């Protein structure tokens, strides 16, 4: 049986605004974090993250289920829609470090921040985004959410 491999294609650096607590109940918390801009850089795609959109998170028992939706404006003018679902979990020690503004690497054993981005676009040069599966390894860095995006081959 074939083993999947990962090819790094780009990194998304999304600037975010403070989150808004929405509520839910005693065992879960719903919040919304607006996306206010950012950048996309890498060997297969470069551009900017457009302001608007954001990330809805439902936290249950210390794990947040994430669903972010926003737009990328590629350097060649194409607009790409991204729906990025995933999970965030951090040990109390790692969470405290992140709250102090420290960068915690994606491979820190106390952090699990993974996503599965899905892209839509009608730009021919970027159809590959809408025709493949991707995974993202994420981290908070300098107030931004950074996601290293890999193509599953």
Please check whether residue 74 lies inside any domain of the structure: yes
**Per-residue model confidence (pLDDT) at position 142:** 86
Domain membership of residue 90 (yes or no) is yes
Inside any domain, residue 103: yes
What six digits make up the tokens of 90? 């951090």
- What are the pLDDT digits (tens) for 22-36? 987 788 999 999 999
Is residue 26, in this structure, part of any structural domain at all?
yes
Instruction: Indicate the pTM of the whole model.
Output: 0.92
Domain that holds residue 58: 6-152
Question: What residues form DSSP beta bridges with 130?
Answer: none
> Is residue 24 domain-resident?
yes
The CATH number for 134's domain is 2.40.160.20
* Residues of the chain above pLDDT 90, percent: 82
Q: Is the pLDDT of residue 61 over 90?
A: no
- Chain centroid, CA 9 distance in Å: 14
**Alpha helix stretches (DSSP H) within the chain:** 92-99, 127-130
Total residue count of the chain as it appears in this document:
153
Average pLDDT (73-92) is 97
Which carries the bigger pLDDT value, residue 41 or residue 98? 41
Average pLDDT of the chain, as a whole number: 94
Count of structural domains, the chain: 1
On whether residue 1 sits in a domain, the answer given is no
Question: Could you tell me which residues come within 8 angstroms of residue 3 by beta carbon, excluding any fewer than 6 positions away?
Answer: none
Structure-token pair, residue 31: 């919040």
Helix extents (H) in 6-76? none
Token pair of 120 as six digits? 């839509």
Can you list the pairs that 17-21 forms with residues at least 24 positions away whose Cβ atoms lie under 8 Å? 19/57
């Amino acid at each position: 049986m074939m083993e999947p491999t990962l090819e790094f294609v780009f990194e998304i650096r999304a600037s975010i605004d403070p989150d808004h607590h929405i509520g839910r109940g005693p065992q879960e918390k719903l919040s919304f974090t607006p996306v206010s801009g950012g950048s996309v850089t890498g060997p297969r795609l470069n551009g900017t993250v457009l302001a608007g959109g954001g990330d809805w998170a439902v936290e249950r028992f210390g794990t947040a289920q994430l669903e972010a939706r926003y737009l990328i404006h590629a350097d060649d003018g194409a607009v790409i829609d991204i729906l990025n679902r995933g999970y965030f979990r951090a040990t109390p020690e790692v969470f405290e470090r992140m709250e102090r503004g420290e960068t915690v690497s994606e491979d820190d054993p106390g952090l699990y921040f993974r996503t599965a981005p899905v892209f839509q676009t009608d730009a021919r040069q970027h159809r590959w985004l809408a025709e493949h599966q991707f995974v993202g390894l994420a981290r908070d860095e300098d107030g931004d959410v950074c996601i290293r995006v890999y193509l599953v081959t």
